[in-house]
Copies of this chain bind each other. A is one copy, B any other.
Amino acid sequence: MYIVIVGLGGIGRNLARQSVEHAHTVVVIDQDEARCSELLEHYDVMAVTGNATDKTVLEEAGIDRADALIATTSDDSVNLMTCWLAKKFRVPNVVAIVNQPSHSDFFKEVGVRISENPDELVAARLYYWTQNPQLQQLASIPGGTIFEIVAEAGAPIVGHEIRELKVKDFVFIAIRRVRGELIIPSGNVKIQPGDIFTVFTKKEAEDDCLRLLNKQLKKSAE
């Protein structure tokens, strides 16, 4: 796969690394020559120094044979124009970071798939954790949350079957055992100390769910 990555901030660099590790052909574009040079030292990519909204820069990056272009700069207007150019070049797969929520519509009109503000995503996760120290949020969707919780040794439910938990409006997605085993839980799984539960709950049931889980999976409130 021929992948063009625009912007070499933290996200762009990580993306380059991951793409190289999966053996794709990777071209990066950034205005800062130093950033390009640094990446070239570490990974087997091509790099073009320049502004990706400049058509000749995209052409130099091989846009005409790209399978995907991913715009990751912190400037939405650059991301937008770059993605639009990529669409004109008929790149099949055009993805962008959108830094300001109010700009999302523009990207959609142009036919670009977008990822929400990454900082907001991480902040939400940290905030959730501050409020629920015993949980770790994995993701949220409209109307629900996915999180992880650990069954402590000595907690009431340990040694019992999972069906004994009166589940309402939430789902046990998976259980990870201490030794690394991953189970898609059915009702008769017997809970062991250290089991990590991946749980989905509806927003409206979140409080009940947490109360129940804290009571059953934790030895005592910390």
Q: Tell me the bound Cα distance from A61 to B121 in angstroms.
A: 26
Q: Tell me the bound Cα distance from A171 to B200 in angstroms.
A: 11
Is A14 a contact of B81 with CB atoms below 8 Å?
no
The B-contacting residues of A in range 71-129, CB under 8 angstroms, are 72, 75-78, 80-82, 84, 88, 92-93, 95, 97, 100, 102-103, 105-106, 113, 115, 117-127, 129
Is A146 a contact of B139 with CB atoms below 8 Å?
yes
- Beyond A54-B100, A81-B77, A103-B81, is A10–B119 a contact (Cβ under 8 Å)? yes
Interface size in chain A (residues, C-beta < 8 A): 75
A143 within 8 A of B: yes
Interchain CB contact (< 8 A) of A95 among B76, B93, B126: B126
How many copies of the chain does the oligomer comprise?
8
Residues of B within 8 A of A138 (CB): 138-139, 141, 146
Residues of B within 8 A of A141 (CB): 138, 148, 174, 176, 182, 198
* Contacts beyond the supplied A14-B119, A141-B176, A171-B174: 19 A-B pairs with Cβ under 8 Å: A11-B122, A14-B117, A14-B122, A15-B123, A53-B76, A53-B103, A55-B100, A77-B78, A80-B81, A81-B81, A97-B126, A118-B118, A139-B139, A141-B148, A143-B174, A144-B182, A170-B184, A171-B184, A174-B200
